[in-house]
Chain A
Amino acid sequence: MLKLLSTEPVRLLAFLVGIMAFVGLNAAYLVWVERKGAGRFQRRPGPTEVGYAGLLQPIADAIKLLSKQLIVPQGVDAALFRVAPLLMMAPALMSLAVIPFGPSLAARNINVGLLLIFALGSINVMAIMLGGWSSRNKYAIMSAARVVSQNVAYEIPTLLVVITMIMITGTMNLNEIVRQQAGAFWHWNVFRVWVNPLMPVTFLIFFICMLAETNRAPFDMAEAESELVAGAYTEYSSMGFGVFFMAEYANILLGCSLATVLFLGGWQSPFGILPGVLWFLIKMYFLVFAVVWVRWTFPRTQFYGLLNLSWKLLIPVSLFTLILSSAIMKLY
């Protein structure tokens, strides 16, 4: 019996269930965190009615969304319309398989983990684009076009930053990257200024691109509610919208996890106390809070604003860090 439990298929099944439960729970409760956080930023209490401090609110929302009709409007491309939300959710779920939550807590410890995440990450854009395109709605189509043009802006600096990181660490294995950041907190990549003096800037670029990738404010041009009503999601009702909504949070979760792994030392404890998983979660949720904080502080950019930022600032700076760190590596 014990032997059966420790076989590979059972282990994978456990991780599959684990990750889905983790994402599901997080997607639901990040909505709560967002609403509660938004409330506090705006000097109001946020959800309070359902359960203690509104803790059952996500469940109430889910029941509401599930019990509504999934309307597929007349004349839409029904197949694409239905598949788009799933296409947004699936890559986030799959990518989490390679994220090391703890020293030995990763579903798959593969050597090209980082590559896998970025390969899957580009499907996101396609999902919103398909959703918008198949909706047969002017707002949605404009939103679809925006998503694609936005994609050009953030994908390049992200990849340049990631290449820098791969060069510094010499591996694409996420577990290995974390292991290299062992020790006190100044061994975390974000503080390793002797490897590259611009390391904090690199982290910042990664964080900005992550916000753009997840369509979060201030880069939420795709669903800009004051311009495009709800953008690509305009025609979606019921769980069609629900899955999109949860996928947004799943993507935030993934982005923050990746930032934690790449820059903040993953499960490495800064003081050597408490188990690794806990530290991972603390760091990740701090980033999630930062994402919420940013959203409820800034107005939305224009997409030429994002393109300007990307081409005039992020790409040159990330290219510069790439060259700088390669030069430093060559010299020392």
Chain B
Amino acid sequence: MRNAVKEVVSGFYSLIVGMRVTIGQFFKPIVTVQYPHETLKIAPRFRGHIELVLDPATGKPKCFACKLCERACPSDCITVEGAKLEGAKKRSVTAYHLDFTKCSLCGSCVEACRDGAIRFSRDYNLAGWSKEDFIMDLFKRLELEAQAASPEKVDGRAVPGLIAAQDAAHQDKTKTDLK
């Protein structure tokens, strides 16, 4: 009998304690972020899909199609094509396809790249209407990006502004994406 009464009292007390905890939380400020209205900063090492990097010296992609990334990829999602252009010392990339439908964002390609010619983009709003939207031509993407940054100097060389524009887009994708 005494045990039963004790259990009832302690049980009831435990319920009161629980309710005290939740009411305490009730009056604390909210912790969620109202996503489309406010966004969080992307982590510095954020692993998005990859993108090609421009060479500041030439204004061309750093990539010279060594295909190390293609070989490192566990899911076969990268296809690189390169050719030796006339007068150039090294090969240069002519097409860089990323099949993002297969990519698992492991980052092996970036690690495999010895020259820092690819890096993670900071795109995260990756919604599309069809599967084809995710078979990306990174070479074209880079050109478009460069065009958007400074349309009059597409085939110009060594434009510091262009590099800066690409870097800016890289750094602050959050804001540009949402406006």
A154 vs chain B, min Cβ distance (A) = 17
B3 at the interface (CB under 8 A from A): no
B interface: dominant SS: helix
Choose, from A36-44, A142-150, A262-270, the stretch at the interface.
A36-44
B31 and A293 within 8 A (CB): no
Interface status of A52 (Cβ within 8 A of chain B) = no
A41 to B26, CA, bound (A): 4
**Which of B4, B25, B31 is packed against the most chain A CB atoms within 10 Å?**
B25
Of A17-25, A73-81, A247-255, A294-302, which binds chain B?
Answer: A294-302
Q: Does B18 contact A (CB under 8 A)?
A: yes
* B25 close to A41 (CB less than 8 A): yes
B8 to chain A, nearest CB (A): 6
> Chain B: which residue is nearest A290 at the CB level?
B19
Q: Are A42 and B34 within 8 A (Cβ)?
A: no
Give every chain A residue within 8 A of B15 (Cβ-Cβ): 298
Q: A48-B34, A313-B8 given as contacts; is B19 within 8 A of A42 (CB)?
A: no
B178 at interface, CB cutoff 8 A: no
A-B contact count (CB 8 A): 36
Is A103 an interface position by the 8 A CB rule?
Answer: no
B1-52 contacts to A, CB under 8 A, are: 4, 8, 15, 18-19, 21-23, 25-26, 28-32, 34
Residue tally, chain A, CB below 8 Å to B: 16
Name the A residues within 8 Å of B28 (CB-CB).
Answer: 43
A45 interfacial by beta-carbon distance below 8 Å: yes
CB-CB nearest in chain B for A313: B8
Whole-angstrom CA separation of A42 from B29 in the bound complex: 10
Indicate if the CB atoms of B34 and A45 lie closer than 8 Å: yes
Cross-chain contact A297 with B31 (CB below 8 angstroms): no
> How distant is A47 from chain B, measured CB to nearest CB, in Å?
12
Contact among B19, B22, B30 for A44, CB-based, below 8 A: B30
- Which residues on B sit within 8 Å (CB–CB) of A40? 25-26, 30
Q: Nearest Cβ distance between residue B93 and chain A, in whole angstroms?
A: 45
Which residues from B are CB-within-8-Å of A294? Answer: 19
Chain A positions within 8 Å of B21 at CB level: 297
* A45 touches which of B4, B8, B32 (Cβ 8 Å): B32
Verify B32–A296 contact, CB threshold 8 A. Answer: no
What are 9 of the A-B contact pairs (CB < 8 Å)?
A37-B26, A39-B30, A40-B30, A43-B28, A43-B29, A43-B31, A44-B31, A293-B26, A298-B15
User: Which 4 A-B pairs give the minimum distances between C-beta atoms?
Assistant: A44-B32, A297-B22, A43-B31, A40-B26
